[in-house]
Structure 1
Amino acid sequence: MLNIVLFGPPGAGKGTQSEKLIEKYKIDHISTGDLFRKHLGEGTDLGKLAQKFMDEGRLVPDEVVIGMVDEKIKDSKEARGFIFDGFPRTVAQAKALDELLEMKELVISGMISLEVPEEELKNRIKERGKTSGRSDDQDESKINTRIKVYLEETLPVASYYESQGKLTKIQGVGSIDEIFTSICEVIDSY
């Protein structure tokens, strides 16, 4: 079973590349952003709690996120694998994910990190904000907070998977198809 962590800062192109990878490899998509939006759209208590943290540009607590991921995996019994998009965001989440997968006799095949310079990220997020309707994509201070949180709290996850020999860095600047080809070369090596 192919289980990939697609990693990178906000605006790196994880969502765009995930769509292409799902189509090519026929694996299920686990995006915490999508899970949060589902709960927000349904007005669940969990969704309201997640929204409070997201509005402040902060990370949603690990136990909430892991519970959502576990639920999604249980609901995907026929999956050929998973692409984790925007998750795990902390080393604690990475360890919890490894433990969760181990209980299901699964492992992470590898982490692919999209590397994009900070100014490019800010420009991409602002452009996305013009069409996404997401208020956090249109507010410069929230964009800066999200990038700062990524650098301080999320980036260490790459070292966690690197210590397991599972990290590959891909240049995330270029055409969507060029980046996709580079990602596929890595996945095909698994």
Structure 2
Amino acid sequence: MSVRLVLFGPPGAGKGTQAVRLAERLGVPTISTGDIFRANIAGDTELGRQVVGYTSKGHLVPDELTDALIADRLAQPDAADGFLLDGYPRNGAQAAALDALLAADDHELDLVIELAVDPDVVTARLLKRAQIEGRVDDTEDVIRHRLSVYAEQTSPLAEIYVNRGILAQVDGLGEVDEVTGRLLATIEQFTGELPQ
């Protein structure tokens, strides 16, 4: 199945889990900015060294560098017939950069899915995960701050994609299989194809 898809939602919405499951069913690669950052850092690439220059100081990686990493990844052969982006774009500037990148190859996004979850449920989920994984930095205040940054910077993307008629909101709460089922049904509804 050829599909160019973006999955976004607040921290703790289950994007990573769902992205891997969907990509497997769709036969396209999952492209996660976090994974790309880690791979470039591990490979000691020039881009990876630039990423470390920002993250080691606690700064966000600038849009231009993130855009360059995504462009490099989308140019790889396995992404030629489609992809599932997880964690990108995060803001309007990145959305515009992605549009330009796809338009250069006469492509566009097929669908953008927002995993909708209740902030209190997500906070509880992340606090539990922090406890299990020993993430001492993931306090309730830190989690709520991350959620407010998401609401301020990333949520406005929904309006961009609603105006294009390619945004679907899917309830991200429930058992993992239930949420996957909702996502697959949404993809089928928008694309007219049933993921295998």
Contact 1:114 1:172 (C-alpha < 8 Å) held by counterparts: yes
CA distance in 1, matches of 2:181, 2:76: 30
Number of the residue aligned with 1:31: 32
Q: Give every structure 1 segment of 4 or more consecutive aligned residues whose post-TM-superposition deviation is greater than 4 Å.
A: 131-136
SS at match of 1:88: coil
Number of the residue aligned with 2:23: 22
SS at match of 2:165: coil
CA distance in 1, matches of 2:148, 2:121: 15
Number of the residue aligned with 1:51: 55
SS at match of 2:164: coil
Stretch of structure 1 that moved more, 6-15 or 126-135: 126-135
Stretch of structure 1 that moved more, 74-83 or 117-126: 74-83
* 1:34-84 deviation line (CA, Å, top 9, x unaligned): 11222333453223134147x35xx42110111000110112356431101
Query: C-alpha displacement at 1:144, in angstroms?
Result: 2.2
* Structure 2 letter corresponding to 1:49: G
CA distance in 1, matches of 2:131, 2:40: 24
Number of the residue aligned with 2:194: none
Equivalent residues in 2 for 1:75-86, closer than 5 Å = 75-77=76-78, 79-86=80-87
Rg larger in structure: 2
Number of the residue aligned with 1:145: 145
Contact 2:28 2:79 (C-alpha < 8 Å) held by counterparts: no
CA spacing shift, 1:114–1:77, aligned 2, 3 Å: closer
CA distance in 2, matches of 1:134, 1:50: 21
SS at match of 2:83: strand
* 1:77-124 deviation line (CA, Å, top 9, x unaligned): 564311010110001111110110111221100111110011111122
1:178 paired to 2:178: yes
Query: C-alpha displacement at 1:141, in angstroms?
Result: 3.3
Number of the residue aligned with 1:115: 116
CA distance in 2, matches of 1:74, 1:133: 37
Contact 2:29 2:82 (C-alpha < 8 Å) held by counterparts: yes
Stretch of structure 1 that moved more, 178-187 or 142-151: 142-151
CA spacing shift, 1:20–1:51, aligned 2, 3 Å: same
SS at match of 1:112: strand
Query: C-alpha displacement at 1:145, in angstroms?
Result: 2.2
CA distance in 1, matches of 2:181, 2:99: 27
Aligned length: 186
CA distance in 1, matches of 2:27, 2:110: 15
* Structure 1 letter corresponding to 2:50: L
Q: Identity rate of aligned residues, in percent?
A: 36
* Structure 2 letter corresponding to 1:46: Q
* Structure 2 letter corresponding to 1:30: I
User: What TM-score, normalized by structure 1, do the two folds share?
Assistant: 0.89
CA spacing shift, 1:38–1:142, aligned 2, 3 Å: farther
What CA RMSD, in Å, does the superposition of the two structures yield over aligned residues? 2.0
Number of the residue aligned with 1:95: 96
* Structure 2 letter corresponding to 1:65: T
User: What TM-score, normalized by structure 2, do the two folds share?
Assistant: 0.86
CA spacing shift, 1:27–1:135, aligned 2, 3 Å: farther
SS at match of 1:111: strand
* Structure 2 letter corresponding to 1:112: I
